[in-house]
Amino acid sequence: MNSWSHIKTIAKREMTGYFSSPVAYVFIVIFLLLAGFFTFMASPFFDRGQASLQDFFVWHPWLFLFLVPAVGMRLWSEEYRMGTLELLLTMPITTWQAIVGKFLASWLFLGLGLVLTVPLWITVNYLGSPDNGTIFCGYVGSFLMAGAYLAIATMTSAMSRNQVVSFIVAVVLCLFLILCGFPPVTNLLVRWASPGFVDFVTSFSVMTHFQNAQRGVIDSRNLLYFVSVIGFSLFTTGVIIRSQRAG
């Protein structure tokens, strides 16, 4: 059995675990309800007089801040709690394959949540003539941002046997990545730091790179940022799990 087959086996196991419990359904319902509320009720969607999903995407960094760590907090903490980590790692798979399989299953699950919001896209096309290329880029950016948040939650889940602790630490780390590019914070930095330093700080923010996607621009720097966050977090997860295994 090759490496990809091992990864698919772990991913299938993880996906089955989601849908055999209320976790998947609760997440999807809450995400869809909040997305609809913030798009149509908490934002000036109808007053804007323009068919777009700008109000839909602008809330995603904040929605994902709590919902994605809630999905990722159980990935490894649950294995610790159930005592199945040793069993998982004694299977003919590598630690890296287990990490990638679990991550991909959860990322695809988050992608499913985004796909279920496509009726909003259909709605704005019914109401007017939006820039569908920009909306598509927004979806791609949102999916990449969800992956970055999830990778961080995967890392914090490997750090602690307690899911609540994992959730809180993941929220704090993701919030840090938001605030690096949040206008009130950057405006404060401008007062005492050089423009170069401010640009350096904002380059670490998901807001900076996601806002480019919202405008319909996804270039190599945006992709490199999200891939780097995901890669670093998953690499750190591997280091933590190997140290747990050695201990």
pLDDT per residue as tens digits for the range 185-223: 777 777 777 777 888 888 888 988 898 888 888 888 899
- The domain ranges of the chain are 3-246
* Sequence-separated (6 or more) residues with CB below 8 Å from residue 220: none
Q: Which residue has the tokens 């401010």?
A: 198
Measure CA 71 to chain center: 9
101 within 8 A of 7, measured Cβ to Cβ: yes
Instruction: Note the pLDDT of residue 48.
Output: 64
**Gap between the Cα atoms of 135 and 52, Å rounded:** 8
Mean pLDDT of 126-148: 90
Cβ 69 vs Cβ 167: under 8 Å: yes
| Helices and strands counted in the chain (H then E) | 15, 0
Reported as a single tens digit per residue, the pLDDT across 54-102 is 888 888 999 999 999 999 888 888 777 776 776 776 777 788 888 999 9
Mean pLDDT throughout 161-176?
92
Is the pLDDT confidence value at 44 over 80? Answer: no
